[in-house]
Amino acid sequence: MHAVAGFIVRLAAYAILLGVAARLAQYLWDQRGLGDVVMLQSLHDTAVAVLALAPIVLALVGIGPLRPLAIFVAWFLVGAALTAPFAFARLAAG
């Protein structure tokens, strides 16, 4: 039962962390006007799907010696999500 409780706590923590990052990224994406760029829509949809599924994978993987790796990947995804709107806005601008 202890393993299930640990999984639920990890799942909730990753879901909150990546959910906040996804919402901030969506806000920045809309502020930069990237929602109107058809060329970037598939990349955006893929990123949203990854951020939605990542908490489950990270919670499953984040046991024992793989916990530091799961934490690193979570923070990497947060950084990628928050910087993507800036990078794509620059790319779209030309």
Q: Are 85 and 32 in contact (CB under 8 A)?
A: yes
| Residue-level pLDDT at 93 | 80
pTM > 0.85: yes or no: yes
Q: DSSP letter at 37?
A: -
Percent residues over pLDDT 70 in the chain = 98
Residue 33: CB partners within 8 Å, gap ≥ 6?
A: 89
Measured CA to CA in angstroms, residue 24 lies from 32, 49, 65, 82, 83 at distances of: 12, 15, 31, 7, 10
